[in-house]
Chains A and B, each alone.
Chain A
Amino acid sequence: MKQIIAVFTVVAVIVLFWYVACVPMNIKGVLTELERGGAEVQPPTASARRDLGEFGLVLDNSFAIPAAWEQGKPRLPSPHQVAIELWDTTVLKKINSKRSLVFHGWVTLSATMLGFVIGTGLGVLLAVGIVHSRVMDLSVMPWAIVSQTIPIIALAPMIIVVLYSVGVQGIIPKAIISAYLSFFPVVVGMVKGLRSPDAMQLDLLRTYNASQSQGFWKLRLPASMPYLFTSLKIGIAASLVGAIVGELPTGAVAGLGARLLAGSYYGQTVQIWSALFAAAILAACMVGLLGLIERSVLKRMGMAQ
């Protein structure tokens, strides 16, 4: 209970701070608009205002504060503007409309999911190989670890363009980037998980005369579940980032990344923020869903705390 109150307080403080920050961020644009509308502004011309501090301008023109929360193309849109835009573009628009965030979100989500499934599947397979083969462990594992320190995302534009030049386009290139980004966290986490049974447990299976595959299915795989879910959560967040970044170089056709890029081209800040929040909600939903699955799986396996 105390925790809920605390979280709400922190969120409320953030929103409040956001509203306050809107005023100095937007004041110059607001004053220019008001001046054009014929209002009395201190100082009266935009060139005189250019070099003044934002806070001084706010104090001199306190009547303009409400307008700073309702600007058309603000530098920082106020929370309710973003919320209204989100509501308009998800609930009120038709789903197949090009302006619907549900449409764009689905484009991104489908690429994310496809890539995530591919990346996770390959990652688990490689992890199994690494755990069972000493050669692979020695030669591949160091590279898997090193690759986590490399900004792999820099490859994204090239993958898109190269695949386009060989005739592959649409969802596949984005999914490949997503798969690539979720691949290595899953490998590293899964290797750790498959190695988590201690010597005592492995010895017990040996006394039962269990074969390698029995040891895998009955001990290693179940023991790796908590590690798997931890890395899945990291992997799905990385997949989403990959899909969003993968949409940037294609010339902004569809998807949340395209909304971000189009918004930044045309100065549609409200659109950028709403796309950003849509991406955040999407990520939160996916991580939350994985968390729920994790809890129920671990509970059925008797591993939940």
Chain B
Amino acid sequence: MMLVVFALLLWAFGWWLNSRLASGPQADSQMVRFLAPVVFGLTIVGVWELVVRGLEVPLVILPAPSAIAVRFAGSLDILWADFVQTILKGALSGYVIGCGSAFLMAIAVDRWDFLRLGLLPVGNFVAALPIVGTAPILVMWFGFDWHSKAAVVVVMVFFPMLVNTVAGLREATAMQRDLMETYAASYWQSFLKLRLPAAMPFIFNGLKISTTLALIGAIVAEFFGSPIVGMGFRISTSVGQLSLDMVWAEIVVAALAGTAFYGLVAGIEKVVTFWHPSQRR
């Protein structure tokens, strides 16, 4: 019971610290913006640890963070193999194929007005559908290995990417297009020099949405059948064995991979669209 009291005290302390940070003289500095969420996260983890230990919550309901960390450190090789199978092979290859083909399709859609009028409502409609449901079909077609996961990812990222890219390619204003016209620029010149750069914020928006979708697709597709490696497989079998510390370790990997993937795309965006108002400091 002492530990639970400690947990409450820790919570109060974390909150007090953050209140001090938020109302202090440096409240708008980069430091505080970075420190406050870190303090909050550490407080949560600390409270979690103390409550689990204090109330002696069994492992099959909620493992303590320390138990998860021990399991994480102890099974790095398994986690790495799962990471390679699901993220690098399944999600990443599907992401590249899906976003690439959606980009090419978007250029075609943008070129022919009829296609844009017809395909864009359909694309918007499909983008809202529960596309993960295609996973059992694609697993049936492409087998249990990572090819089927990549296929699910392709289907999942295609339409969000298409809709965003088409919206972006229409971003250049009539005035700017007229200017290119007066330069006697060809279609491809005006495309490469004006409309593609103007579309970049939208394209990166699509790419960023797709990073999360890609991971979701690759993991959920493994629930429908996979070889004996992969994050979705490990999660579903470890849940079956009630070794929840392993499940949490996989979730940590998924969280790290998702954040890193998103961060990578956001970092590239910062370099490519340095001119955009949202990137200015």
Q: Which of A75, A134, A263, A273 contacts B22 (CB 8 A)?
A: A134
Query: Complex Cα distance A276/B33, Å?
Result: 44
Query: B41 at interface (Cβ–Cβ under 8 A)?
Result: yes
Contact with A along B221-235 (1 / 0, CB 8 A): 001110000011001
When distances are taken between beta carbons in the complex, the residues of chain B under 8 Å from A249 are 223, 236, 239
**Cβ–Cβ contact A245 & B254, under 8 A:** no
Q: Which of A166, A233, A272 contacts B128 (CB 8 A)?
A: A233
Query: B48 at interface (Cβ–Cβ under 8 A)?
Result: no
With A138-B21, A269-B140, A284-B125 already in contact, the answer to whether A143 and B133 are too (CB < 8 A) is no
With A153-B216, A154-B219, A154-B254 already in contact, the answer to whether A146 and B259 are too (CB < 8 A) is yes
In the complex, what's the smallest C-beta–C-beta distance from B58 to chain A, in angstroms? 9
Query: B164 at interface (Cβ–Cβ under 8 A)?
Result: no
**Cβ–Cβ contact B114 & A237, under 8 A:** no
**Cβ–Cβ contact A150 & B212, under 8 A:** yes
**Cβ–Cβ contact A151 & B242, under 8 A:** no
Query: Complex Cα distance A173/B134, Å?
Result: 23
In the complex, what's the smallest C-beta–C-beta distance from A130 to chain B, in angstroms? 12
**Cβ–Cβ contact B251 & A157, under 8 A:** no
When distances are taken between beta carbons in the complex, the residues of chain A under 8 Å from B7 are none
Most chain B CB inside 10 Å of its own CB: which residue of A150, A154, A263, A279: A154
Query: B137 at interface (Cβ–Cβ under 8 A)?
Result: yes
**Cβ–Cβ contact A6 & B212, under 8 A:** no
Query: Complex Cα distance A248/B36, Å?
Result: 38
When distances are taken between beta carbons in the complex, the residues of chain A under 8 Å from B250 are 154
Chain B 10-56 interface residues, beta-carbon cutoff 8 Å to A: 15, 18-19, 21-23, 27, 32-33, 36-37, 39-41
Query: Complex Cα distance A11/B132, Å?
Result: 21
With A142-B37, A161-B242, A264-B224 already in contact, the answer to whether A151 and B130 are too (CB < 8 A) is no
Query: Complex Cα distance A240/B133, Å?
Result: 11
**Cβ–Cβ contact A260 & B33, under 8 A:** no
Chain A 122-160 interface residues, beta-carbon cutoff 8 Å to B: 134-135, 137-143, 146, 148-151, 153-155, 157-158
With A138-B32, A162-B244, A264-B139 already in contact, the answer to whether A6 and B114 are too (CB < 8 A) is yes
Query: A244 at interface (Cβ–Cβ under 8 A)?
Result: yes
**Cβ–Cβ contact A140 & B40, under 8 A:** yes
Query: B76 at interface (Cβ–Cβ under 8 A)?
Result: no
In the complex, what's the smallest C-beta–C-beta distance from B164 to chain A, in angstroms? 14
**Cβ–Cβ contact B140 & A264, under 8 A:** yes
Query: Complex Cα distance A7/B116, Å?
Result: 9
In the complex, what's the smallest C-beta–C-beta distance from B73 to chain A, in angstroms? 20
Query: Complex Cα distance A272/B121, Å?
Result: 25
Query: A3 at interface (Cβ–Cβ under 8 A)?
Result: yes
A137 to chain B: closest residue by CB: B22
**Cβ–Cβ contact A260 & B223, under 8 A:** no
**Cβ–Cβ contact A157 & B219, under 8 A:** no
In the complex, what's the smallest C-beta–C-beta distance from A233 to chain B, in angstroms? 7
Task: Spell out B's residues near A (CB within 8 Å).
Answer: 15, 18-19, 21-23, 27, 32-33, 36-37, 39-41, 60-62, 114-115, 117-119, 121-122, 125, 128-130, 132-137, 139-141, 211-212, 215-216, 219-220, 223-225, 231-232, 235-236, 239-240, 242, 244, 247-248, 250-251, 254-255, 258-259, 261-263
Top-4 shortest CB links A-B: A6-B118, A264-B136, A139-B40, A10-B118
